[in-house]
Structure formats: structure tokens, C-alpha cells
Amino acid sequence: MFENVKMPEGMSAETLEHLMNPKNYGKLENPSCIGVALDEKTKEYVIFYTLLDGDIIKDVRFATNGCQDTVVIGSMFSEMIKNNDTEYANGAIEKMHKRLGVMTPQQQICAEIVFSAFLASLKNFENLQAGKEEELHLFKMKESCEAENMGNNDE
């Protein structure tokens, strides 16, 4: 689709595709579990809706009020784990780190908020299976993506 587009420096065609046409974005009706990761300083969040059939991720959706990096990473990661089992999905987090390559500190935090929201959804499922009444599970991020905390990458 983007064959004739001059790519921004360092951006792959796959990344551009996920930026322009995010996959699995939006709310999933009747998920098995919901996880949220929240940056309390910036109020940025990612919500992961996960539909499980046993340990198979039948469907997954995410929503965020975050930046374009968060959307791209959420799109790529959700595509990677969809129709796989939860063990694969946990390993996919490490595969995504390798696939994303060198990232700025801010981009690393964007990735972590996506992965944390997914892990929170699995924790929500675990809690629900144990009989705990919980609408969603929330992880508060230790690191903030607030720009002033990032240091100067221009040098």
C-alpha cells in the first residue's frame, strides 16, 4: 500500500502501515478480561480487552489516549498475540522488544504501557477465575512518559 511513499528516516513499511491503519483498535464487546496501565503523571493509559478460549487469545482490542508510538506498538503487539496462547503472548513481549529495535526512552515507556495493560488483563482473568469480583485490573506505571523526565536525546 505504501510502496511509492518516501519513508521517514528509520521507519519501516510495517510501522507506517500500523500508524496509518491501526489493527485491533477500539473496545471489544464481552471480553473475558480487561487490563489497564496508567501513567499517573500524564494520565496516559492503555486498555487491553482480551477474549480467551481456554488459554487461546481468540480476540484482543486495545484503546489508548496515548501518542502515535503507543498506537503503533499496541497495533503490532495485538496482531502478534491474536489467535495464539497466553504462553506465546508472554514470550511475544520479548520478541516485540527485539522487533522494535533501538527506541528512545519515551518509546520504551510507550511499549511498556502497552505490555503492562495486556499483562493486567491476564491478571484480571486470573482474579476472576479465583472468584474475585473485579471489573478490570489496573497497573500503575513506575516510569512516566512525561517529556521532561526523558532527558535530552537531541545531542
How many separate domains does the chain show? 1
In a domain, 150, yes or no: no
84 is in which domain, residue-wise? 18-142
In a domain, 93, yes or no: yes
* H helix runs in the chain, sequence order: 13-20, 68-81, 86-100, 105-129
Nearest to 97 by CA among 109, 85, 86, 82: 109
Q: Write down the residue that cell numbers 489497564 correspond to.
A: 36
Give the tens place of pLDDT for each residue, 24-50. Answer: 999 999 999 999 999 999 999 999 999
Give yes or no for residue 154 having a pLDDT over 50. no
In a domain, 35, yes or no: yes
The rounded distance, in Å, linking the Cα atoms of 1 and 93 is 27
Q: Could you tell me the CATH number of the domain that includes residue 53?
A: 3.90.1010.10
Q: What is the pLDDT of residue 9?
A: 56
| Nearest-10 Cα torsion for 62, 65, 71, 75 | 10
- C-alpha cell, 93: 513481549
